Amino acid sequence: MPFVAAIRRAAIGAILALLATSALADDPGRAAIASPHQAATAAAQQVLQQGGNAFDAAVAISAALAVVEPYGSGLGGGGFFLLRESGDTPRYAFLDARERAPAAARADMYLKDGKVQPGLSINGPLAAAIPGLPQALADLAASHGRLPLKDSLAPAIRLANQGFAVDRIYRDRATMRLNALRDDAESARLFLAANEVPALGTVIRQPELAVTLQGLAVHGRDGFYRGPLARRLVDGVRQAGGIWTLDDLAGYRTAWREPLRYPLAEQRELISSPPPSAGGIALAQSLAMLQRLPWQSAEPVQRSHYVIEVLRRAYRDRGLLGDPDYVGNPINRLLARHYLTGLADSIDVRQATPSSALPPSPAWREGDHTTHFSVIDAQGNAVSATLSVNLPFGAAFSVPGTGLVLNNEMDDFAADPGGSNSYGLAGSQANAVAAGKRPLSSMSPTFIESPGQFASFGTPGGSRIPSMVLLSVMGFLEGRPVAEWPATPRYHHQYLPDVVEHEPGTFSARQKTELEERGYRLRDVGRQYGNQQVLYWDKAGGTMEAASDPRGVGQATVVD
């Protein structure tokens, strides 16, 4: 009997071990958060501790960032949410909360005598598209959350009332947009101190924003897109020269889309953003081309050569893309194996390919400052989200009495399909202004998943987003420490202009010389850029890690 009992105990132990291993593959048992601000990370922790899941935490983070990062995102903007729903077979979803052009928008609205008037699509209410973030928060809570929307918004409401301290990132962004903020009395009141950039440590309180958040918490989407707040928003915009209507707000809807999925080597799969993001396609194309090149064994200059050339080719195709509700996107052709093989094979191993030597492509345009976060809960649900108001502090126009600074995402459209936007990026017919249309974007919240691993990536940075995410993904593919992924020195090529942009110190003097000898023009942008937030789950080893970009002031944490 003792022998039989021992056999039984051994058998039960083996079964339990097998079940534990199986559960581990789908259930990390720990949560992880990586966000660009410690207040947002704290908000997510509070919600998770109250029994919320990753989707509730995403609502809490987004709302908290709307308070502490008015220069990067907010209720007056929009964004993309990439979702992972845990299970024996994970399910993925993509919530498109990109802003939409007002119904009165038209293709020539920023032209005068045939010439673009750039200020109109950058500063003031005419630059603002209809915001999508409030609807997205309501949608996430209703469709995927465990907690009521009001519980997930509570940390942000407290934060808006109590205030937050100005940090170096806030000062940097406010300095960039100081003149525009000064030109709008309400923005100056909310975000400046005596018409100057606030000193470090200055406490910014936003009671009007707290009331706006409270209306969303109590009434859901109708607390923003209908009723008294909607009337106040429309009145404020129109009195200042904008074209919003109550119907524009009432008619706004987010869109649930199928994420872009692309198989990689070693049973890995890229899950990323579909149009109206161009970023996911650029990432898939770049990784597919790199798989045909010996980049992992290449010395640094040769590796940079490969990366620059795949980015050149991937960005060339961007001008073909636009809002899928308005234009056809040739995704199958752009991701076809034979097409990508041909692109990879066209790369000269030693010399730069001049962009002018490639077949011409429709031109495109882009915006810049955004924010990003990643979160995964103890059940394996995850969110990677990139949010934006476009330029720092958006249109630098705030609607009096609401606490809301509006986006200037209309500048992401092709105001002049033959010209360019504030970032020197040319436009295309696929991305021309049209009523109700969503502008093209590079925002690229991204997952990579395999049977044994899961990783989440994303960053702000406008047109440079896909190149930044690519460099971090390469760190993951090489097995480098997680903390190194967002810290990787950055460089970028986007087809046109035919220039390699890079952070200070990315290349040594010798490497610069070698790259120039290969035919590259280099441009030091004079500052660090991006603010990446990443997660890593080793399913087999049962470990969870998170990392926040050292360029920012964010906080990454793993929570038991």
State how far the Cα of 528 lies from the Cα of 551, in Å rounded to an integer.
7
325 neighbors 255 (Cβ within 8 angstroms): yes
Residue-by-residue DSSP string for 25-64: HH--SSEEEEESBHHHHHHHHHHHHTT--HHHHHHHHHHH
Cis peptide before 276 (omega within 30 of 0): yes
Does residue 390 have a known ligand-binding role?
yes
Does residue 441 have a known ligand-binding role?
yes
What's the N-to-C CA distance of the chain in angstroms? 42
145 neighbors 59 (Cβ within 8 angstroms): yes
370 catalytic, yes or no?
Answer: yes
Q: At what angle do helices 207-219 and 227-239 cross, to 10 degrees?
A: 130
Catalytic residue among 41, 370, 402, 506: 370
Residue 519 CA, chain-centre distance (Å), reads 32
407 neighbors 99 (Cβ within 8 angstroms): yes
- Give strand pairing partners of 500: 522
Does residue 98 have a known ligand-binding role?
yes
Rg (C-alpha) for the chain, rounded Å, is 23
State how far the Cα of 452 lies from the Cα of 364, in Å rounded to an integer.
38
- The single-letter code of the amino acid at 199 is A
Does residue 531 have a known ligand-binding role?
no
Q: At what angle do helices 149-162 and 38-49 cross, to 10 degrees?
A: 140
Q: How many CB atoms lie within 10 A of CB 419?
A: 17
State how far the Cα of 384 lies from the Cα of 406, in Å rounded to an integer.
23
Q: Identify which of 465, 425, 463, 462 has the alpha carbon closest to the alpha carbon of residue 444.
A: 465
Contacts 24+ apart (CB under 8 A), 505-514: 507/304, 511/300, 511/301, 511/304, 514/301
Does residue 384 have a known ligand-binding role?
no
State how far the Cα of 205 lies from the Cα of 212, in Å rounded to an integer.
14
The 8-class DSSP code of residue 318 comes to G
The binding site for L-glutamate consists of: 98, 388-390, 412, 441-442, 462
Q: Please list the active-site residues.
A: 370
The binding site consists of: 98, 388-390, 412, 441-442, 462
